[in-house]
A and B are shown apart, each in its own frame.
Chain A
Amino acid sequence: MSEVTPYRRMVETAFSQAIPLSAQFEITYRCNHLCTFCYNAPTGQREMTTPQIFEALGKIADFGVLYLTLTGGEAMCHRDFWAIAEETRRLGMALRLYSNGYLMADKAVVSRVAALHPMEVEISIHGARPESHEALTKIKGSFAKTVKALENLVEAGIKVNLKCPITRMNQDELFQIRDIGDGLGVFITFDAVITPKDDGDLSHMHLRPDDAFLERYWGEWYAELHRGKLPPKTNHCASEGATANCGTGRSGFTLDPYGNILPCVAFRRKVGNILEIDSLRQIWHTSPVLHEVRNLAVQARQRLDQHENGPYFTFCLGVAETQLGDPLAIYPQAEINAKSVKRAYTLLQIGQPITQKSA
């Protein structure tokens, strides 16, 4: 068992006591890409104005959030992106930025990003070649710009994470995509789950990788793609052994461009609107929605623990709700992933005692 570091212990305390360390702020749904599998589902409502965004930022900072991720849409497409990012830093929060990188192909833009001292910038990539990347982004020239952005960010000394949602269109070039990251010294994570749109639309789900691929990915390929790392057995936002399946409504929350407070980016039950409350403290421990969501995350863990592949599940309540209408229902992708991860661990004989005392 790995040693529990002081940092891990503190994060676990925050998790168990529902102290939110991070928040994700979708400042706009505007985007310069047209990704076919994007989960955003704008409603047509008016997005918050910049002064309203500043008001929201003040409330988030006042609540003690440590890490704030600016995202979208494409966050940099917001006309006041720079002012919003500067305000985030002025308020003392560590800034993360999720982006497609398109606008950061320009070195002058990256210099401004560097001046914000972001904790990290996460860039999405969808293929190892222009043809595959642009088949998903639908923007000609976007591959070259994303790669240029990566080069610029690395050159500027900014910590970069590369992220690749796996689809049928790029599933055969993951090693080449990883090589792009390796060439720049950038760590890459792959995401094997394509989620439904936030409004429940499933029309793009045919893009998800096929089952035979998923078996190979979790089995033979995962460790090689991730430099020896083993497949995850829990959600990234919960530790192994945690009573809740994930940190939804617990370790963080999400704000959409209309000011709606949501338990997390995937589980989008409205908790309230940030413009209608004086303080996030007002609702964090009293909201019936958050109370229910936290309970559901505990129930999900309990239910998974009884499943034959239980210890190998990464499970998202939000995907279950949008896909099957029940946040506790086990959706096919989770089932296939868990089975494949279990198979991988069985093949590697991980978790088995090395020696047994004779009777």
Chain B
Amino acid sequence: MSLPGPSLEARPRRHPDSAFRPIADEGGLVVLPGRAEVKVLNPVGIRIFGLLDGAHSVGEIADVIAAEYEVAEADAREDVRAFLAQLEAHGMLQEGGH
């Protein structure tokens, strides 16, 4: 059974219309102006969102998370892919961006 979310080689981009800001250690806000929505992400979520610049691969993002949050690489990969699938479902990624 394949895991949800993009492959480890994909280089996803956040939605080009989105604006985001980390806030202290609590996480951050993502504004989706086209949908007039604001999403709240936890600290790991906003860290990942900030890395969705099209330059970082999913695998590289998972490595960053594994190192910064001291989780096993395999868990980080699974979690990052699942999180990206959620972002995609909420229209927070650029379509066809990975």
Contact = CB atoms under 8 A, between A and B. Distances in A.
A6 B20 CA distance: 15
B21 to A, nearest CB: 5
A67 B29 CA distance: 11
Contacts of A119: 31, 33, 36
A59 interface: no
B21 A21 contact: yes
Q: Is the interface of B mostly helix, strand, loop or mixed?
A: strand
A92 B40 contact: no
A194 interface: no
A13 interface: yes
B74 to A, nearest CB: 29
B84 to A, nearest CB: 19
Contacts of B36: 119-120, 159
Nearest to A114: B34
Nearest to B35: A117
Contacts of B20: 66, 92
B89 interface: no
B38 interface: yes
A94 interface: yes
Contact of B40 (A7, A19, A95): A7
B23 interface: yes
Nearest to B21: A66
Contacts of A120: 36
Interface residues of B, number: 17
A30 interface: no
B26 A13 contact: yes
A24 to B, nearest CB: 16
A332 B20 CA distance: 41
A6 B40 contact: yes
A118 B24 CA distance: 26
Interface in A79-131: 89, 92-95, 117-120
Nearest to B18: A92
B33 A117 contact: yes
A66 B29 contact: yes
B31 A9 contact: no
A67 B18 CA distance: 11
Interface string B25-53: 01111010110101010000000000000
A350 interface: no
Contact of B33 (A14, A17, A21, A118): A118
Nearest to A118: B33
Contacts of B55: none
B17 interface: yes
Interface string A211-245: 00000000000000000000000000000000000
Interface in A19-51: 19, 21
A311 interface: no
B17 A10 contact: no
Given A10-B40, A89-B17, A117-B17, A94 B33 contact: yes
Given A66-B19, A92-B19, A9 B34 contact: no
A9 B40 CA distance: 10
Given A9-B26, A19-B23, A64-B21, A94 B40 contact: no
A25 to B, nearest CB: 15
A215 B29 CA distance: 39
Interface in A157-208: 159
A13 B24 contact: yes
A336 B48 CA distance: 50
Nearest to A20: B21
Contacts of A89: 17, 33
5 closest cross-chain pairs (CB), A and B: A94-B31, A117-B34, A6-B40, A94-B19, A119-B33
8 contacts: A7-B29, A21-B21, A21-B29, A65-B21, A66-B19, A66-B31, A67-B19, A120-B36
Interface of B: 17-21, 23-24, 26-29, 31, 33-34, 36, 38, 40
Given A64-B21, A94-B31, 10 more contacts: A10-B23, A10-B26, A10-B40, A14-B24, A19-B23, A66-B31, A92-B19, A92-B20, A119-B33, A159-B36
